Amino acid sequence: MHHICLKKILNLVLNKNLVNFYYIIFFISLSLIFFAIYLHPPVGDDYYFTQNVLDYPNFIKYFTHMYFNWTGRSLQNIFYFWVYSNNLNLIIWKFFLLPSLLFAFYFYLKKIINIKIKFLSIDFIILFICFWFIYPAIDETIFWTAGSINYLVPLFFSIFYLGLFNETVKQNKKNIFVLFFYSISSFLAGSSHLQNFSGCFVVSSFFMFLYYKENITKFKSILIFYVLFLVGGLVLIFAPGNFERLGAVSFETTGLSIIYKSILFIPSSVFYLGDTQSSLIYFLLIILFFFLFLNKGSIQFLINKYNYIWFVAFFFSLICTIPAINFVNTRVTFFPIFLLTTFFLNIIFVRYNPNYQLRIKKIIFYFLVMIFFLESFLGSLTNYVYKNENEIRINIIKNAKAKSKNQAIVPHYKIIPSRLTYMHTPKQDENFLHDLSKIYQIDIKYDNSFPRSKDIRKDIKFYLDDLNN
């Protein structure tokens, strides 16, 4: 009797209609993620970059100003100017962000992890959702416009650059368009972010040395891309704006203090700089990967020396931030966690069999899709309320300015941010309003409202209670 019941449950789990139902839920979740990105209002640097574009409407002058006075991140300077030039460009940016993320992740699995996986298959969706919960500070690195330009875009091009090292010799020179794309990607991977450059430099230099010793044809085929990557790194590192920016910041010069903070910083980065909840989720998901995808019967995956270069790259991407260690936050672990996870996945996917643990994977698939849906649903609602609150603020400031008032009284943000919502702390928000008052040339003060006092989940509960009554 028990055997028959168990068999019925398994048949239900494997039922194609049930799988298709959860596919629909997944695509609905992606739509909600899209709306959460679209609805997310401008925050902090979004206003500053918009103002910079207004001050330097000519691209050459804008790029020159940024490169010589603020940052050597050439890629970001290009996108900052384009995105903040007009609202249509911003909408286009937000529209393509999620599809680009899906495409880059598929390329990452195919070319860097080197597994033959079908796009939007059950395995792909499991890995994508798990990575979604692995990414550190996605509110700042994906949903915040300035943050996505600064973090997600460099990762996008570095994935294509690193993917070259698993390409065959002929694939690198298919046609002029492929050659041009990989050339641009290589340069931008080097010139976009110091942490990104450090990690990619360690990995690509290791493979270049390996190919020079063992496969000279392969070495020659990707040498041009490696050189372009290094040139990009030089353009990034030696930009005058980097030194201008560092000179404007006060640093502790005590060597002992830097050593002490570094000893704390590097180990804690694995734990998301003390965010124990996120780090617990991370390690549980890595254990889940081992359980779902690692075929039993072999321990050779532990002694493959090529995998450990990703672990070394993880450390180097952290070490390069030590000069600015007084100002690190969770988002500086974005690239290191990506490299560390790549290390684990290269171990786990030494042999990939899509049919391995299929029944269990389907159960995990259902569970992860529902969690993904709940987060995307709550996140999109939260960002909708956040957008409305932001518009109320800006309208109050603009109306006060139009009426030639000396002061504008604005409310605190009431909504409690979700994981998909980048919001300043009350202190950061106060400093931002002080800076915003300089842009609008009006004194901006808070009213008597309470910050972060609106819980969207409670509002949903009360709404459902009212429907039942």
Identify whether the C-beta of residue 241 lies closer than 8 Å to the C-beta of residue 68: yes
CA distance 146 to 346: 31
Residue 157 belongs to some domain of the structure = yes
Residue 128 belongs to some domain of the structure = yes
Domain boundary among 325, 356, 387: 356
Identify whether the C-beta of residue 132 lies closer than 8 Å to the C-beta of residue 138: yes
Query: In three state form, how does the secondary structure of the chain look?
Result: CHHHHHHHHHHHHCCHHHHHHHHHHHHHHHHHHHHHHHHCCCCCHHHHHHHHHHHCCCHHHHHHHHHHHCCCCHHHHHHHHHHCCCHHHHHHHHHHHHHHHHHHHHHHHHHHCCCCCCCCCHHHHHHHHHHHHHCCCHHHHHHCHHHHHHHHHHHHHHHHHHHHHHCCCHHHHCCHHHHHHHHHHHHHHHHCCHHHHHHHHHHHHHHHHHHHHHCHHHHHHHHHHHHHHHHHHHHHHCCHHHHHHHHCCCCCCCHHHHHHHHHHHHHHHCCHHHCHHHHHHHHHHHHHHHHHHCCCCCCHHHCCHHHHHHHHHHHHHHHCCHHHHHHCCHHHHHHHHHHHHHHHHHHHCCCCCCCCCHHHHHHHHHHHHHHHHHHHHHHHHHHHHHHHHHHHHHHHHHHHHHCCCCEEEECCCCECCCCCCCCCCHHHHHHHHHHHHHHHCCEEEECCCCCCCECHHHHHHHHHHHHHC
Q: Hey, what amino acid is at 98?
A: L
37-70 b/e with 16+ CB inside 10 Å = b?
A: bbbbbbbbbbbbbbebbeebeeeeebbebbbeeb
Which pLDDT score, from 0 to 100, does residue 247 have? Answer: 60
CA distances to 86, 199, 461 from 414, in Å = 29, 39, 18
The number of folded domains in the chain is 2
Q: Are residues 276 and 415 in the same domain?
A: no
Q: Are residues 213 and 283 in the same domain?
A: yes
Which pLDDT score, from 0 to 100, does residue 129 have? Answer: 96
Which pLDDT score, from 0 to 100, does residue 296 have? Answer: 66
Identify whether the C-beta of residue 15 lies closer than 8 Å to the C-beta of residue 407: no
Q: Are residues 302 and 439 in the same domain?
A: no
Which pLDDT score, from 0 to 100, does residue 144 have? Answer: 94
Q: Are residues 410 and 267 in the same domain?
A: no
Which pLDDT score, from 0 to 100, does residue 107 have? Answer: 93
Residue 20 belongs to some domain of the structure = no
Domain boundary among 356, 391, 409: 356
Residue 118 belongs to some domain of the structure = yes
Q: Are residues 300 and 442 in the same domain?
A: no
Q: Are residues 177 and 100 in the same domain?
A: yes
Residue 87 belongs to some domain of the structure = yes
In the numeric block, the tokens 């990690």 are attached to 199
Residue 49 belongs to some domain of the structure = yes
Residue 343 belongs to some domain of the structure = yes
Q: Are residues 54 and 112 in the same domain?
A: yes
Q: Are residues 261 and 330 in the same domain?
A: yes
Q: Are residues 193 and 115 in the same domain?
A: yes
| pLDDT one-digit tens code per residue, 410-447 | 999 999 999 999 999 888 888 888 888 888 888 888 98
CA distance 116 to 352: 8
Residue 130 belongs to some domain of the structure = yes
Euclidean distance between the first and final Cα of the chain, in Å?
Answer: 43
pLDDT below 70 — which residues of the chain?
Answer: 1-14, 167-174, 244-255, 257, 296-303, 465-466, 468-469
Q: Are residues 385 and 350 in the same domain?
A: no
172-173-175-179 Cα dihedral, nearest 10 degrees: 60
Q: Are residues 437 and 317 in the same domain?
A: no
CA distance 216 to 233: 24
CA distance 262 to 322: 7
Q: What is the average pLDDT value for the chain, to the nearest integer?
A: 86
| pLDDT one-digit tens code per residue, 280-338 | 999 999 999 988 888 765 556 566 777 889 999 999 998 888 777 777 788 888 999 99
- Domain extent for 224: 45-356
Domain boundary among 324, 356, 388: 356
Q: Are residues 346 and 257 in the same domain?
A: yes
